Amino acid sequence: MSNEENRLSWNRLSEYYQSSTYISLDDIHYGPYSPGEKELNIIGDVTGLDCLELGCGGGQISIVLAKWGANKVIGLDISDKQLEFAQSLAKKADVDVTFIRRNMENLSLFEESSFDLVISVHAISYVENILNVISETFRVLRTSGRFVFCTLHPIQFVLWEALEENTFEKIYPYFTSTRDSWDWINDKKQKIATFGQTYRRFEEWINGLITNDFEIERVIEPRAYTMKQLQEMDLNTVPYHDKKEINEKFVRVSQIIPFSLIISAKKE
C-alpha cells in the first residue's frame, strides 16, 4: 500500500482511534502500556528547543513538547482528519503548535539546520522510503541536534502473532523486509481501515543512521507494565492504553518480547 492509501486509511480511522485510545497530554508515550518519557528520560529537558514531530497523528506528543517549554513545535502528518483533531486538541490545551499535512519523506519546506530535536513515535514504519526520512532528518537538524524515534521492534513482527495465537505457524520471516498490509479491527470485530507497513531488520535501522553520519547515543527496548502493576496504578499515568479495558493478551505477550524499539541519535 502507498503513502496515499495510508493517508486515506488514517482519515477513516481517526475518529475511532482517538475515541478508543488514551494518549497522555502530560507525558510522551513510547507504545501501549509502556513507560513514557518521564520514566525513561530519553529526550530530557526540551526548554527552548525547536522541535519537529514526524507522524504526529492527533498531536498529543507535540502538545506535550509545547507544555514542557519547547520554543517552537511543528507536527507533521499525512492525515487531514488526524490534523483536524490535533488542532482542536492544541487549542483546548492552550498551546502554540503548528500542524502541517506533509509526507515525512520530503521535508523540503524546512531549511537546513532548523531544529534541535526531531521525534517520531510509531509512525516511521508506515513510510515507503526510510532512507529519505533519515537523510532529510539529518539535513534539518542543527549540529548536536537529536533524532529520537520509536518504531515496531524487529522481534515484534517476527513473533508477536505467533505468541498471541500460540502457534509456530504464525512466525513471520525476519529476513523479508517487504511491505505488508494489515487491517485495523474495532472492538466489534469490524474492519475499519487497511494499512501498509514495512517491517525492517535491526541492521537496517542502525546502518541507515550510520550511513547518514548520525552518532547513535542510546537504544532502548522498553518493557510494558505487568497486569499487576497496571491494576495497582492510576491508568492516567500510563501514557498510552486502551480506554475501554486493559488488553490482557497484549500485556502478556509484551512481557515476553518488546513491542517497541527506541533509538536516540545525534547529528555531529
Q: pTM of the entire structure?
A: 0.94
Domains of the chain: 3-267 (3.40.50.150)
pLDDT at position 76: 98
pLDDT of residue 223: 96
- pLDDT of 216: 98
| pLDDT of the residue at 1 | 66
Stretches where the chain sits below pLDDT 70 are 1, 177-178
pLDDT of the residue at 176: 76
Q: In sequence order, what DSSP letters do the residues of the chain get, joined into one string?
A: --HHHHHHHHHHHHHHHHHHEEE-SSS---STT---HHHH-SS---TT-EEEEES-TTSHHHHHHHHTT-SEEEEEES-HHHHHHHHHHHHHHT---EEEE--TT--TTS-TT-EEEEEEES-GGG-S-HHHHHHHHHHHEEEEEEEEEEEE-HHHHHHHHHHHHT-GGGPPPTT---EEEEEEE-TTS-EEEEEEEE---HHHHHHHHHHTTEEEEEEE-PPPPPHHHHHHS-GGGSSEEESSS--HHHHHHTTTS-SEEEEEEEE-
